[in-house]
Amino acid sequence: MKKSNIYTVQFRRKREGATNYRKRLKILTSNKPRLVVRRSLKNIQAAIVEYDKKGDVVKISAHSSNLKKFGWVYGTGNLPTAYLVGFLVGARAKNAKFDDVVFDMGFNKSVKGCRVYATLAGALDAGLNVPHSKEILPSKERIMGKHIMDYGSVLKKDDPLFKKQFSFYLKNNNDPSDIIKNFEEVKDNINKQQGK
In a domain, 131, yes or no: yes
In a domain, 88, yes or no: yes
| Domain CATH code at residue 74 | 3.30.420.100
In a domain, 147, yes or no: yes
Please tell me the predicted confidence (pLDDT) of residue 8. 82
The three state secondary structure string of the chain is: CCECCCCECCCHHHHCCCCCHHHHHHHHCCCCCEEEEEECCCCEEEEEEECCCCCCEEEEEEEHHHHHHHCCCCCCCCHHHHHHHHHHHHHHHHHCCCCECEEECCCCCCCCCCHHHHHHHHHHHCCCECCCCHHHCCCHHHHHCHHHHHHHHHHCCCHHHHHHHCHHHHHCCCCHHHHHHHHHHHHHHHHHHCCC
pLDDT tens-place string over residues 159-192 = 899 999 999 888 989 999 999 999 999 999 999 9
In a domain, 189, yes or no: yes
State which residues form the domain around 88.
19-193
pLDDT greater at residue 3 or residue 55: 55
Please tell me the predicted confidence (pLDDT) of residue 15. 86
Please tell me the predicted confidence (pLDDT) of residue 9. 82
Please tell me the predicted confidence (pLDDT) of residue 4. 64
In a domain, 143, yes or no: yes
Question: 45 and 144 in contact (C-beta within 8 Å)?
Answer: no
pLDDT tens-place string over residues 67-99 = 999 999 999 999 999 999 999 999 999 999 999
In a domain, 107, yes or no: yes
Nearest one of 105, 129, 100, 99 to 117, comparing CA atoms = 105
In a domain, 1, yes or no: no
In a domain, 13, yes or no: no
pLDDT greater at residue 3 or residue 129: 129
Count structural domains, the chain.
Answer: 1
